[in-house]
């Protein structure tokens, strides 16, 4: 998988791309990240990438010319998707990450800044993605989240593939509580069922805890899980 990131701040990615499982995956060539600065495609001496919005208003907008030029400088590859990171996009979730990891070999991400991008940039992109219903200072944060979420789904990144199947959101249920040693810490005890060795009882306990936790914390996911379960039993 190849990621081409259109960003005004390439240094933002230096440490995260070299750390943890993501850093190991890139070192093993499971994925590669190419950082492109739109300032390199400006034509004025000040290398200006932003300007005031027509009609007035607060803040600045990213100009379309450098972004178009940066994207169009890339070679054309099959199974590619151009993504604009913006609060106006579709929410990033596990299902979307799975779709991107399974269906594409290359993702081109455009990191927004200031008050956003010139509306004409949207003619360039295939989809818009949002990290959530809030506003950040830059598009690099959601771009990094997207890269991390996709790369960890690629074969070879996570050692135990089975662990991916039991995580939060994989089945619309949140993850179950997990414990490690010691068995008792400050009067909080690990549930006895987890120390029983009875795998059938453990699996049942975990599923019940997933249902309980999802129902309490994410009723929206709980409703989806109930609907899917009912449909599959028909």
Query: What are the pLDDT digits (tens) for 195-230?
Result: 999 999 999 999 999 999 999 999 999 998 999 888
Percent share of the chain, pLDDT over 70:
95
In the chain, the domains with their CATH numbers are 2-151 (3.40.1280.10), 166-233 (1.10.1270.20)
pLDDT of residue 58: 86
Please list, in sequence order, all residues whose beta carbon lies within 8 angstroms of the beta carbon of residue 124, skipping any fewer than 6 positions away: 67, 68, 71, 82, 110
Average pLDDT over residues 116-130: 96
Flag the least confident range among 93-107, 127-141, 162-176: 162-176
Query: What are the pLDDT digits (tens) for 14-30?
Result: 999 999 999 999 999 99
Please list, in sequence order, all residues whose beta carbon lies within 8 angstroms of the beta carbon of residue 111, skipping any fewer than 6 positions away: 5, 6, 7, 8, 9, 85, 138, 139, 140, 143
DSSP state string for 30-67: S-EEEEE-GGGG--STT---EEPPTT--SS-EE-HHHH
Query: What are the pLDDT digits (tens) for 131-163?
Result: 999 989 999 999 999 999 999 999 999 975 555
Distances (CA, A) of 44 to 8, 39, 47: 16, 10, 5
Query: What are the pLDDT digits (tens) for 170-199?
Result: 678 999 999 999 999 999 999 999 999 999
**Cα–Cα distance measured from residue 217 to residue 56, given in angstroms and rounded to the nearest whole number:** 43
Q: How confident is the model at residue 115 (pLDDT cuts 50, 70, 90)?
A: confident
pLDDT of residue 199: 97
pTM beyond 0.85: the answer is yes
pLDDT of residue 233: 74
Q: Where are the alpha helices (DSSP H) in 139-218?
A: 140-151, 161-165, 199-217
Q: Which two tokens stand for residue 115?
A: 């008050």
Q: Which of 161, 164, 232, 177 is nearest to 210 (CA)?
A: 177
Average pLDDT over residues 39-60: 93
Query: What are the pLDDT digits (tens) for 78-88?
Result: 999 999 999 99
Beta bridge partners, 185, equal: 188
């Amino acid at each position: 998988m190849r990621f081409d990131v259109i960003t005004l701040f390439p240094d933002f990615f230096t440490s995260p791309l070299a750390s943890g499982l993501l850093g190991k995956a890139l070192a093993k060539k499971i994925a590669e990240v190419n950082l492109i600065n739109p300032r390199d495609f400006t034509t004025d001496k000040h290398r200006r990438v932003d300007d005031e919005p027509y009609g007035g208003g607060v803040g600045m907008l990213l100009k379309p010319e450098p972004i178009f030029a940066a994207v169009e400088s890339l070679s054309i590859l099959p199974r590619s998707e151009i993504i604009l990171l913006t609060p106006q996009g579709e929410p990033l979730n596990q299902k979307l990450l799975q779709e991107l990891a399974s269906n594409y070999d290359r993702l081109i991400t455009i990191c927004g800044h200031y008050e956003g991008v010139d509306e004409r940039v949207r003619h360039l992109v295939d989809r818009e993605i949002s990290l959530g219903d809030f506003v950040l200072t830059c598009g690099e944060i959601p771009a990094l989240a997207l890269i991390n979420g996709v790369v960890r789904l690629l074969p070879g990144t996570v050692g135990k593939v089975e662990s991916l199947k039991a995580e939060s959101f994989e089945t619309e249920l949140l993850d179950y509580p997990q414990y490690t040693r010691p068995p008792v810490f400050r009067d909080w005890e690990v549930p006895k069922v987890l120390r029983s060795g009875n795998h059938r009882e453990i699996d049942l306990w975990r599923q019940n805890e997933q249902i309980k936790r999802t129902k309490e914390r994410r009723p929206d996911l709980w409703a989806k899980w109930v609907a899917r379960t009912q449909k599959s039993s028909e």
